[in-house]
Structure 1
Amino acid sequence: MDIKQIQDLIRFVAKSGVNEVAIEQNEFKITIKTNQAATYVNATVPTAPHPVAAAPVTETVAHIAAPAVAAADDNSNYVTIKSPMIGTFYRSASPDKPMMVNVGDEINSGTVLCIIEAMKLFNEIEAEISGRIVKILVDNASPVEYDQPLFLVEPK
């Protein structure tokens, strides 16, 4: 794989919304990761002297995007609490402490839901509404982006 093919692959990964692509050939291995929210794609790319992964991956991404839109419509009566910053999402103050909130918990405005660590600063994220936690959308100790959905809340 020459440098032009690698650059084309990087551009493709950035535009496609795929979070990570790994290609391995004889003595050559490349992994490209982005900072976007994860999109999971299982695609088999035929091994050729110079593989072009664009066609199979693009086709698979299109099939994944459609069900995601349908799932978002089912949650229309819920309020989404989003991340106010980029950082690492934590559900508890420390590993030995209990989780701040769990699915089914009743919350009030001002309830601390989680902590987001950004540049060694631990920021408590508080609820702005009252209701019940329906779903936690991020795994503990995972990186989050600005405006990424964290919780689904059924308002009171």
Structure 2
Amino acid sequence: MLKVQEIRELIKLIDQSSIDEFTYETNGTTVSMKKASENAGAKPVKRVETVEQPVETIKTEEPKVTVPADESKAVAGEPENTATVDYDYEIVSPMVGTLYSAASPEADSYVQKGSKVQKDTVVCIVEAMKLFNEIEAEVNGEIVEILVEDGELVEYGQPLFRVKTK
């Protein structure tokens, strides 16, 4: 099944493209997206359908993103709590591997929510095939959201951190 973050990335890519309709199938899950026509100044609305869950409607607006505060509640069918995070840039994983938030298990994390970063600030390490690759912020700003846990497997292009640039 697709993760919520993967569905968000697909929505973002489709929204930025000229594609009007999109269907994606993987591991028995089908996601279909269709841009609604703009009627009388209404904002575009996308329908997201998955085989396992009912249809969910997502409205796109300004660069603010609304995400479920607790994804387990959304899966269990309970009402979703939402949190709004204002950010300008996402630091994404350049490779598939295991993310480490510190140089060693005893060391402090490279960054935390609210940390100020420069372009060359190391924010985490991604281990791939026994090689430890330092991931840099690439922008000046402040970490406003950390999207992955220490020791978590990450995919190529997966967002890791959200940054509010200066």
For Structure 1 versus Structure 2, the TM-score category normalised by the shorter chain is: 0.5 to 0.7
TM-score (norm 2): 0.55
Q: Where does residue 126 of structure 1 map in the other structure?
A: 136
Q: Where does residue 111 of structure 1 map in the other structure?
A: 121
Higher share in strand: 2
1:134–1:15 distance in 2 versus 1, CA, 3 Å: same
2:120–2:138 CA contact under 8 A, matched in 1: yes
2:151 equivalent among 95, 117, 141: 141
Higher share in helix: 1
Structure 1 residue 112: Cα displacement: 0.3
- Which stretches in structure 1 are left out of the alignment for 5+ residues? 1-11, 19-56
Q: Which has the higher contact order (CA 8 A, sep 6+)?
A: 1
- Which stretches in structure 2 are left out of the alignment for 5+ residues? 1-24, 32-49, 68-83
Q: Where does residue 4 of structure 2 map in the other structure?
A: none
Looking at CA atoms only, which structure, 1 or 2, has the larger radius of gyration? 1
Q: Where does residue 16 of structure 1 map in the other structure?
A: 29
Residues 34-49 of structure 1 correspond to what in structure 2 (within 5 A)?
none
Q: Where does residue 88 of structure 2 map in the other structure?
A: 78
Deviations 1:73-102 (Å, cap 9, x if unpaired)?
A: x65742111000000011001110000000
Identity of aligned residues (%): 43
Instruction: Give the letter for the 2:51 counterpart.
Output: T
- RMSD (Å) for aligned C-alpha atoms: 2.8
1:93 equivalent among 95, 103, 106: 103
Aligned length: 105
TM-score (norm 1): 0.58
1:119–1:59 distance in 2 versus 1, CA, 3 Å: closer
1:17–1:139 distance in 2 versus 1, CA, 3 Å: farther
Q: Where does residue 53 of structure 2 map in the other structure?
A: 60
Give the 3-state SS of the residue equivalent to 1:116 in structure 2.
Answer: strand
